[in-house]
Structure 1
Amino acid sequence: MPVVFRLLSVFPLWFLHALGAALGWVAFCASPTYRRRFRAHSALAGYPFRAVRAAVAHAGRMVAELPRLWLGAPLSCHLEGESCVERAYAAGRGIVFLSPHQGCFEIVVQAIAQRWGAEHGPITALYRPARQAWLAKLMETARNRPGVLLLPTTLAGVRQMIRALRRGEAVGLLPDQVPPQGQGQWTPFFGRDAYTMTLAVRLAQQTGAAIVLARCERLAWGRGFVTYFEPLAQPLSAPLEAAVLQINQAMEYLIRQCPGQYLWGYGRYKPPRAVPPSSAGVDA
């Protein structure tokens, strides 16, 4: 598998996206559970299948483009709303970038690092190490590109995030990802309670960092990506419960900008997994 992964990293993006689109539909047709989840989640948000069917292919593209993103030459990513990010950096309190599972969220971190890393320091993000040894090693090395610092989801990793924000640097999170037990709260997401991380809110409240929303869209025919930045519509609420709901509503807003590239098949409403002892207190 490592050899195949490295081989795919040299292929052009249009080929990987074509391959991924086919694999996305194969997975959709082969898995009744995936199909039911995809249809149920998109219907919950008010979308008939015909309105979001493109997301089936985009889920496959997300997987197929990873070799190129991790091991290949940098890909083109146009940025919209840079002035929003510039103002946030100028405030000097750091930035919490929030992105949903939409489009190529992997390249958002790379694009931020390429554009602002040299001037404002690296962007720090957390990741859950893979179970496969080869993939875990690859994630630990290949994803740490210049200006990007990836840390495992542990208490030590969160502490480094806090220190980065206090230095005026940036961190990135996917707030629509289900956190482990004890690190979130049940909050409505498209009208249904979903276990939602409180880490994003706590980081912003503890450090005074600005929150910047980021969403990325794939361009057709492998022409690259566009990442859009904008501030949170309203200042973050003080009560934790209200602030977490506010973040969920912001993610809903971003998803509705391009529902055809959201991962509707992700298990957003699943119960949280038990937290390992090494990660206890990550979101405390």
Structure 2
Amino acid sequence: MPSVFRLLARLPLPLLHALGAVLGWLVFAASPTYRRRFVANARQAGYGLAQVHAAVAHAGQMLAETPRLWLHPRLPRCDMRGSQVVEQAYGEGRGIVFLTPHIGCFELSVQHAARQWSAQHGPITVLYRPARQAWLAQLMQTVRNRPGIAAVPTSLQGVRQMIKALRRGEAVGLLPDQVPPEGQGLWSPFFGRPAYTMTLAARLVQQTGAAVVLARCERLGWARGYRLHLQGLGEPLSADLPQAVRQINAAMEQQIRACPQQYLWGYARYKQPRAEAPPLAQAGA
């Protein structure tokens, strides 16, 4: 597998995206579970398959481009919109919490931001969960700690390192639509349905006074590269934790609706941790 990974990293981006599109549709056709979840999640957000069918190919493209993003010495072309919100936060001496949903090329979001700002403002700290396969775990440890990026484990120690980074005026990156482990989240509406949602993003902001920057890295057509969209939250994050989590979920919905054709609708967003039953009133709504 490592040799295959290295081979894929050498392939040109147009070929990787073409292969990825085929892979996406093959998985969609071969897995009834994945297909049902994809359609159900999209329907929950108000979209029919005809409106978001392009997301099937984009899911495969995300997988196919990963070896290149991890191992190739040069990053692909990426235009950036909205960099002023980042410059303003750094100018005020504040830390930054970059938030992006599972949309487009979220792997490139942190890499491009690190290339742009880490030399002057310090590395961007991200959480990562080690893979079970030994070769992949070793590879991930190496690629996650690229220049300008500090990868920390998904543990209390890792969270403490993120807090310290923010208090130094540095940045951290999170995917707040990722389902957290038991005891590390709360139930909050996501496209009108209760979803077990991480509290970490809100707590980091509340404890450090960091600025929130929403990020969405859009994959451009015909392998022309990417476009990173950056914007502020638009309103101060509430000091009330449940309300702050709802604000972040609403912001993620906004990012997804801006480009629903590139969201991972097949992601198990409404997965229920064993000991975390959703509120009956909301579940029945």
TM-score range, shorter chain: over 0.9
- For the residue of structure 2 that corresponds to 1:185, the secondary structure is strand
Structure 1 counterpart of 2:123:
122
Give the match for residue 215 of structure 1: 216
Deviation of 1:28 after TM superposition, in Å, equals 0.2
In 2, Cα distance between the equivalents of 1:94 and 1:206? 11
| Larger mean Cα displacement after TM superposition, 172-181 or 87-96 | 87-96
Pairwise CA distance, 1:150: 1.0
Q: Give the CA deviation at 1:272.
A: 2.6
Report the TM-score when normalising by structure 2.
Answer: 0.95
Partner of 1:167: 168
In structure 2, relative to structure 1, the CA distance for the partners of 1:79 and 1:273 (3 Å cut) is farther
Name the residue aligned to 2:155: 154
Q: CA deviation at 1:143?
A: 2.4
Q: What's 2:88 paired with?
A: 87
Q: Deviations over 1:150-205 (max 9, x none)?
A: 11101110000000000000000000000000000000000000000000000000
Q: Give the letter aligned to residue 100 of structure 2.
A: S
Q: 2:270 aligns to what SS in structure 1? A: coil
Show structure 1 runs of 4+ deviating over 3 A: none
Whether 1:49 aligns to 2:52 is no
Aligned residues: 275
Superposed, 1:1-284 pairs within 5 Å as: 1-72=1-72, 73-272=74-273
Aligned-residue CA RMSD in angstroms? 1.1
Q: Distance in 2 between matches of 1:254 and 1:4?
A: 34
Q: Distance in 1 between matches of 2:196 and 2:239?
A: 20
Matched-pair contact (CA < 8 Å) for 1:80–1:226: yes
TM-score under structure 1 length normalisation: 0.95
- Distance across 2 between alignment mates of 1:117 and 1:10: 26
Match of 2:278 in 1: none
- Alignment partners' CA distance in 2, 1:67 and 1:24: 16
Contiguous gaps of at least 5 residues in structure 2: 276-285
User: SS state of the match for residue 234, structure 1?
Assistant: coil
CA drift at 1:145: 1.1
Q: Residue 10 of structure 2 aligns to a residue in which SS? A: coil
**CA distance in structure 2 between the partners assigned to 1:107 and 1:272 by the alignment:** 29
- Aligned partners of 1:9 and 1:272: how far apart in 2? 35
Q: Distance in 2 between matches of 1:213 and 1:197?
A: 16
User: 1:102, 1:255 within 8 Å by CA — same for their partners in 2?
Assistant: yes
Change (3 A) 1:273 1:162: farther
1:188–1:248 Cα contact (<8 Å) kept: yes
1:273 Cα deviation after fit: 6.4
Residue 255 of structure 1: how far off its partner (Å): 0.2
Check conservation: 1:180, 1:273, Cα contact below 8 A. no
